[in-house]
Structure 1
Amino acid sequence: MYTRNVIWGLILILVGCFFLIEEFTHFDFGRYFWPIVLIFSGGLMLLKNYLKTNHHTD
């Protein structure tokens, strides 16, 4: 449960950073925000599944 809280905390920090970066630069992060979130989420799911299945191989 602790790991889940850490992951969600990091996700919220990253989301906040995306919104703040947009304020300090002329780059439109809103256009790329959701694709990045989806790619990151999918990568996390794949990594989690990979680590779970390869953890107990002999």
Structure 2
Amino acid sequence: MSLAEKLGVEKAVILHVDDLAMCHGGNAAFHELAATGKVTCGSIMVPCPWFREIAEAAAAEP
């Protein structure tokens, strides 16, 4: 059974936030969206300048 079927809808959009750690603003936006339940997943780019910030936040709230 697909996610759309489980939700009882014909189609569904799944938002995935890509390239976290590129900049502080992107990290902050992700935190805001996640706190309000608008997104639930994202991917972190390890060699980027704001990696430590997003990694520490992810460790604090898995």
Please, what TM-score do these two structures have when normalized by structure 2?
0.30
Say which one has the larger Rg: 1
* Larger proportion of strand: 2
* Larger proportion of helix: 1
Please, what TM-score do these two structures have when normalized by structure 1?
0.31
Structure with the bigger RCO (C-alpha within 8 Å, sep 6+) is 2
